Structure 1
Amino acid sequence: MMKTNSGWFFEDYTIGQVMEHAVPRTVGQGERALYHALYPARHALYSSDLFAQSCGLPSSPLDDLIAFHVVFGKTVPDISLNAVANLGYAEARWLRPVYPGDTLRSLSTVIGLKQNSSGKTGVVWVRSEGFNQRGETVMSFVRWVMVRKNNLAMPAPQTVVPELRSVVPAAELMVPSNLNFDSYRHDLSGSLYIYDDYKVGEFIDHVDGVTVSEAEHMMATRLWQNTAKVHFDATARPDGRRLIYGGHVISMARALSSNGLGNAQMIAAINAGAHANPCFAGDTIRAWSEVLYLAETANPTVGALRLRLVATKGTGTELRDAEGKYHSDVLLDLDYWAFIPR
């Protein structure tokens, strides 16, 4: 009897299927320390208890993307162990901060299926949710992933492509109830620029670059317990190269964005995200942002910036060619909301 898990294949999924993912995880200061060692993260709210307390929080929460990676990692054995690539994100919402000592678990529901024309792969859409030890939802997101078929003779399922909102409305952004930026310390945050200093259409070059290494990528991906074969097994791809986990690129770009957006302290939502091209060890990630929209929140001390964050392995700001395809040096195109002092 086989006791090992070879993962789910495209033909194993059905619309409405609910998966409670295994191995809940208690997160703590170790995850914070490793995150800040792996990425040049410098947002003050996630670095200092005293700074967070001056902003009304009980202590410094864990970086928003730590919560994302942990919740995401729980889903991998059931969703993307046999993935070719993770394709995109939508309708991601951070609903409450995650603090050291919280225990996170994940649940996913299949909301879309579409077999590709080759008959060898298909796209699976899931809505994943992360819960803490009190059963409170800390975040939710939709992602879609290209998954291999195992039985190529299996008939294609009925195509269901979910309708997803292009933007999470500003009114649905969840500002932590006790967050207050009235006593915000710019000298400690490292940036003078707040809500009113940004203008729609403004481009921000984040200046710095980081060259990705195999060792750091594999450490990070193991940290999040992401077991997708393409990240570790060089024989899992025809080109014999290990694919850098897309979340690694997101975290690197977000960390780089602190140079220019140092007061955009909290990620509130991801409206849309695409891994435009694969990233491999040796690529140098650079980032730039475009300000898309400014919105007030119900909290008079907190504003919301809608930002486009682009990670590239080049130096330009052109996203697409004349045919509308992403340029080959574009790695990530992420549309997200962030909270910033007003």
Structure 2
Amino acid sequence: MQVGFARKYAIMEELDGGFSAGSMPEAFVRLDSWEGRIQASIHVKGLKQGPFKYVLYLIFVRNDKLIPILLGTVNTSYSGMQSGLEIEAETLRNNNLKPDSVRFAALTAESQNKKWIPLFASFEKSHKWDESIRQVILMSSREEEKPKTPEPDISYTGNTTDSQIIQPAIKEETVDTPPLSDITADNTPQPDSINYSSLIYQDAYSPKSNYEKKKTKRENTSNKQCDIGKLEGLLMNNFETHIPFNRSSRGYSWYRVSDLAKLSNIMYMSGINVPLFANPKILVGLFKFKHILAGLYRGGNGSEYYVIGVPAKNEKDNKPFDNACRWAPIQDTSIRDMGGYWLVYVSLKSGEIVV
């Protein structure tokens, strides 16, 4: 595991009008930081082409002063996730900045010495847009040292002609899952710092026999890609236990998640390295319905899976992976326009998405 690894997400929304290609423009930006550097990945849609150069900036805070740093140009004609935009550790040191001091992201449109901000995002809910941010970007010194800005390195799996999102490695495997139906809504937990303890205490289970059974199943994990014991402990200690389906499904344990960065770090610490959250449709589900599901499934044949549930309106809406997810409808939900979840299964033995 890389020391000091951290990940942040933000959904960029329209700020300056006039750049729409028909639908409302939006973008998803993900920041990975380690060893003092930052690498950004971005998925943009709905921005029109033209005589504009689109440029991504990160805005940091230092002693209550905003410092914009240029990441690089963004190719809006590409429909997938773009990566390879970096701020080197030396650049941050030269500006007396740390990776965790990033506060905003701005995608600018530049033409003939003019600059607009079609898309903007805040990484902190307590900090919103104000015009002083625009002035900071516009007045940033041209002589200020800029990071290296290579052309975007497009990450994809599959055909370049029709692939719109990153597709993690997918393995065909039969998952013996019981039927799912009917959701029970509850309150969304508030984001918080990670509880790094993965210990599961006996009084967390009732009755005692259930605890002993789960403890036995976790004892031998030497041949597995992921540490299910650590994963289960971190999920239990950081998220609220949830019962999304009115009829209890044997073998499942569910948690309701509203902090995607925290969940991503927990997955990383537990050995789950499938780039699920590079898929923008998972972020769309979180943005629209304020949560996703994270869960564990233990099959009757001893198989074990990590499961992500992506909320959607219906089985024709926001399907994250074409052939590697299954629709689980719900009824009587208090969440408006939500008809169920797309379930994505990751084998804890192979570490791959299964069909």
With the length of structure 1 as denominator, give the TM-score of the two structures.
0.29
Q: Relative contact order (alpha carbons < 8 A, sep ≥ 6): 1 or 2 greater?
A: 1
Q: TM-score, normalised by structure 2?
A: 0.28
Point out the structure with max Rg over C-alpha. 2
